[in-house]
Every structure is written in structure tokens, then in C-alpha cells.
Amino acid sequence: MKLFTSFQTHFGVCMTYEVINTLVNSCKNEIIRFLQDLIRAESYNPPGNEAKVAKVIADKLQEVGIEYQIIESAPRRANIIFTADFGGSKTVLFNGHMDVVPPGDLSKWEHDPLSAALVDGRVYGRGATDMKGGLASMIMSIILYMRSEALLKETAGRVIMAATADEEMNSDYGLKYLADVRGDALRADYAVIGEPTGINGMGKTLVIGEKGDYELHVKIHGRKAHSSIPSLGVNAVELACDFVHNLKKLKLPKVKPPIPEHELIRRFAAKAAQIKDTSFRTRLTEYIKALTENIYSATMISGGFKANVIPDECEVVIDFRVLPGLKLEEVTSAVKELLNDLGIKEYGITVPVVFEPSVLEGGGELIEAVREGARKYYGDDPVVTIGSGASDARILRNKLGIKTVLFGPGYGELAHSDNEYVEVEDVLRATKVYMYVIHNLLSRSKNSRL
């Protein structure tokens, strides 16, 4: 009996693989066109203007008969949500941001950043990788899933898609806003964010946590005087330079990384061994180190207003990239202690940017569903890791308590770059993985045994 059950399971998985594979391949041109439409809808942030992208998504949903809600947090700052309800209590949420960073110097672009040019299997444009490729894959995965009677009859649960604004700034008009005013519409057991998680030459990663970003502005006060008699004043620029020079003495509390350095080295080692470029392996070592340590850098300094005046103010901006477990108040306390140790008594500290660190708690079934899908459709097992930068996952994990991972098409190193692109095959494979995740987590037979 066990043998027969095992055969049934294996046969069912094979059938699911073929159904998804065939359906996505047959809709390749539709997926590409949708991706191109998303890229051509300009949504540079600042100022945002995600309403243009939301309209492209709304037009597609109207075309296929899916109801949706557009929720504006401010004029032209739109978020769009739709739900596919297959009955049942389990819910999977897909999330992605519609805003992109500005293109910068257009002379450095081979293809216009709004052209969505399709060249040699790549779609070029601002946001192609970060993250309109992921948006296209997630939205089309739900649309195609709803077209398959074979998949629908095996599915019980709900799928929510939330395309949101303002991730490239502080998410105040996007997922933060939705979590505050429409948190009920986002409630889910699992979430997948389609950010680019590829590393060129090494394949896919599966990101289960991320470091936080605390941006501290330290304004040091001195006393003005004529520069011909500097002893009559207190030079705030000199105090600030002394502070920056001694930043390495900062005493931050020790916290354990979610994944130890030796374990990350082990996970990346097999793939890194295939790369002959020794400089890449060196960069990978530094990357892994950055994932397991608290990193901080003085990134901006400004002070003084006239050449012949001893400056009475100087501001230093310090960018902290912190591991889960290190709190903002612990960072500011350590900075204050260093300032006091240096004899700097007059200062002020503000923190205009706070992206909290976050990490997946539990969620083994979600991790395995994505890994299985990636093995089937990419032919490779993604490295389970954490991310060095922040994303909207922190809001889903920390504020809404949703088990959340990042997995999506594109190479992370292409995000925000000139001549940004995403490979069509990557978008198609990601679409298949998302469909597989839906089927795996919302399987009628699996949930009936829970």
C-alpha cells in the first residue's frame, strides 16, 4: 500500500510539472508582452507615480476577468491587490514593488530605459531586474494557474497578489501604508517576494532573512570664530573628523548571525568551485563576511559655510547594516558612548531611515516548496541565505507575522545598474516556480491531512 501511495505521489508530481511547464511555455509571448508593458510604464522613485504601472496591471486583470482593488496612499501613489480564492483556509501572498530607481545618465544606456527592448533573449529597461521581471512572473503565475482545470481541482486555499509602491524609498506609500490601513487584506500564512535573487555564474539563492539599515545623522556642535584666531572657537569639522577616524572603536553588542559564516561558506563552496575567476571568489568571501557581521560606514560629511569662519556645526552620516537582533537603541547608545569618550559633548543624533532587520521564523514547508520548484524548473538547488540589503520582507515578517522569503528572476548585481536587463528564460522559470509553490502549499490532499 505504501508503495502504491508513493507511486501515486510521484505520478502526481510529474503530472503537475508537465502541466505547469506546458502552460507557461505556450504563453511565453503573452508573458513577455506583459513584462514589456510594465517596464514602459514609467515609475521612477522619486517621485514614484506607480499609478501608471497599476493601470497596466489592472488592464491585464480586466482582460482575463479578475477583480482587483487599487488603493491610493497619495495622488499617483497606487497599490493594487487581487485575490484568487480556491476555497480552504491556507493563504499564499505574493508581493512586489512597482517603483524603480531613476535611470541616471541616459548616455550610458545602450537601450532607452523605457524601451523594454527585447534583444538576444533579454528584456532591457529600468526595473527589468528590480523588479518588474518578478512582478510579471508573479502576476502571470496566478493568471495561468487559474486557467488550468487540472491544477484548480487539486487546490484549496487563497492566493493574494499585492503590487505596492515606494519600496525604493521607505515604503511609506506602499506596504507600510497597506499594513496600517488594509492589513486584513494581506493576512497570509506564507509570502514570496519576487526580488531578484540570482548571482551571475552561481544560479539562484533563496533569501530567508535580511540585514537592517539604520541611517544615523550625527550633528556635532562647536563655536564660531574668525579663522585668523581659531583658538577663540571650537572647530566642529575637526571634531567630526576625529569622530570618523575613531569609528572603528565603536563598541556594538555581539549578535549571532542567522546563518553562521562557516555554514554560508559551505553552502556557496560547491558552486564557487566551478568559477575559475579568483577575483570573483575573493568578492564572494567578502560578501559572505558582510552577511555575518554588523557593517557600518561614514558615507557623508558636511560642515562650514565660509572659508574664513571656524565652523560651529558639522554633520556626519553613518550607514549601519545590522544583523537581526541588534536594536536601534543599542546602536545609538554605542555612538553616544564613543562621542563622550572623545570628549565631544555637544551633539545631536537623528535617524531618518530605519529598515529593521528580519529573519524567517520556522517556515520549513515554504523553504522546501521553493527549493523543490527551483530544482525542477532551474535544474539547480538554490543556496538558502540571508540578504545584505533591506526589502519589504521586514514589514511582512515583523509587522504582520507572515513567513516570508525572497525568490525571483534577475541577478541582484544588475539592480539599479546602467543597461539593466532580465533574461526571458529566467522570467519564465520563475513563473513556473511560483505556480509550483502555489500547488505545493495549497495542495488539497496535503491540507486535508493537516
- The pLDDT assigned to 447 comes to 64
**386 close to 259: Cβ distance less than 8 angstroms:** yes
Alpha helices in 65-167 (DSSP H): 133-147, 149-152
Phi, psi of 181 (to 5 degrees): -100, -20
Q: Distance (Å, rounded) from C-alpha 58 to C-alpha 266?
A: 44
109: cell is: 544606456
Average pLDDT along the chain: 94
Query: In this predicted model, which residue has the larger pLDDT, 231 or 9?
Result: 231
- The pLDDT assigned to 200 comes to 87
14: Cα separation from own chain's centroid: 31
Structure confidence by residue, pLDDT tens digits, 215-244: 999 999 999 999 999 999 999 999 999 999
Q: Is residue 267 part of a domain?
A: no
Query: In this predicted model, which residue has the larger pLDDT, 2 or 156?
Result: 156
**Cα Rg of the chain, angstroms:** 24
The CATH number linked to 327 is 3.30.70.360
For strands 203-210 and 383-387, give the pairing.
parallel
Q: Is residue 148 part of a domain?
A: yes
Question: pLDDT-derived band of residue 445, with 50, 70 and 90 as boundaries?
Answer: confident
- The pLDDT assigned to 62 comes to 98
Q: State whether 98 and 225 are in the same domain.
A: no
181: cell is: 490601513
Q: What average pLDDT does range 263-268 have in this prediction?
A: 94
- The pLDDT assigned to 3 comes to 40
Q: State whether 32 and 175 are in the same domain.
A: yes
Q: Distance (Å, rounded) from C-alpha 53 to C-alpha 67?
A: 17
324-359 burial: b if 16+ Cβ within 10 Å, else e:
bbbeeeebbebbeebbeeeebeebeeeeeeebbbbb
Q: State whether 192 and 336 are in the same domain.
A: no
Structure confidence by residue, pLDDT tens digits, 156-209: 999 999 999 999 998 999 999 999 999 999 999 999 999 999 998 889 999 999
- Count of positions (residues) in the chain: 450
**136 close to 31: Cβ distance less than 8 angstroms:** yes
Q: State whether 7 and 62 are in the same domain.
A: yes
- The pLDDT assigned to 2 comes to 46
Q: State whether 51 and 156 are in the same domain.
A: yes
212, amino acid identity: G
Domain closes at, from 355, 386, 403: 355
Q: State whether 158 and 128 are in the same domain.
A: yes
Question: Roughly how many angstroms between the first and final C-alpha of the chain, as a whole number?
Answer: 21
Q: Distance (Å, rounded) from C-alpha 78 to C-alpha 83?
A: 17
DSSP 130: I
Question: pLDDT-derived band of residue 12, with 50, 70 and 90 as boundaries?
Answer: low
- The pLDDT assigned to 418 comes to 97
**82 close to 158: Cβ distance less than 8 angstroms:** no
183, amino acid identity: G
Q: State whether 101 and 226 are in the same domain.
A: no
Structure confidence by residue, pLDDT tens digits, 28-42: 999 999 999 999 999
340: Cα separation from own chain's centroid: 37
Q: State whether 348 and 365 are in the same domain.
A: no
Q: Distance (Å, rounded) from C-alpha 336 to C-alpha 216?
A: 11
Domain closes at, from 355, 374, 393: 355
Q: Is residue 265 part of a domain?
A: no
pLDDT of residue 429 exceeding 90: yes
Q: Is residue 67 part of a domain?
A: yes
% residues pLDDT > 70 (the chain): 96
What's the number of domains the chain is made of? 2
pLDDT of residue 450 exceeding 50: no
The three-point CA angle 50-52-58 to 5° equals 100
Query: Does residue 360 come out as left (phi exceeding 0), alpha (psi in the -120 to 50 range) or beta?
Result: beta
Angle between helices 133-147 and 2-26 (to 10 degrees): 120
Match 543556496 to its residue by C-alpha cell: 383
pLDDT of residue 247 exceeding 70: yes
Q: Is residue 287 part of a domain?
A: no
Phi, psi of 113 (to 5 degrees): -65, -15
- The pLDDT assigned to 275 comes to 78
Q: State whether 245 and 195 are in the same domain.
A: no
**88 close to 437: Cβ distance less than 8 angstroms:** no
Range of the domain at 28: 2-210+357-448
- The pLDDT assigned to 11 comes to 45
Domain closes at, from 355, 388, 405: 355
81 has which bridge partners? 69, 162
| pTM of the model as a whole | 0.92
Q: State whether 138 and 90 are in the same domain.
A: yes
Q: What average pLDDT does range 357-386 have in this prediction?
A: 97
Q: State whether 335 and 382 are in the same domain.
A: no
Structure confidence by residue, pLDDT tens digits, 413-427: 999 999 999 999 999
Q: What is the DSSP string of 335-351?
A: HHHHHHHTT--SEEEEE
DSSP three-state, residue 333: helix
Question: pLDDT-derived band of residue 13, with 50, 70 and 90 as boundaries?
Answer: low
Q: State whether 306 and 341 are in the same domain.
A: yes
Q: Distance (Å, rounded) from C-alpha 147 to C-alpha 150?
A: 9
Phi, psi of 166 (to 5 degrees): 70, 20
The CA dihedral of 415, 421, 424, 429, to the nearest 10 degrees, is: -10
Is 203 exposed, middle or buried (CB count within 10 Å of its CB: 0-12, 13-18, 19+)? Answer: middle
% residues pLDDT > 90 (the chain): 90
The CATH number linked to 154 is 3.40.630.10
pLDDT of residue 319 exceeding 80: yes
DSSP three-state, residue 182: coil
pLDDT of residue 303 exceeding 90: yes
Q: Is residue 73 part of a domain?
A: yes
Question: pLDDT-derived band of residue 448, with 50, 70 and 90 as boundaries?
Answer: low
Q: Is residue 280 part of a domain?
A: no
Q: Is residue 273 part of a domain?
A: no
Q: What average pLDDT does range 142-158 have in this prediction?
A: 97
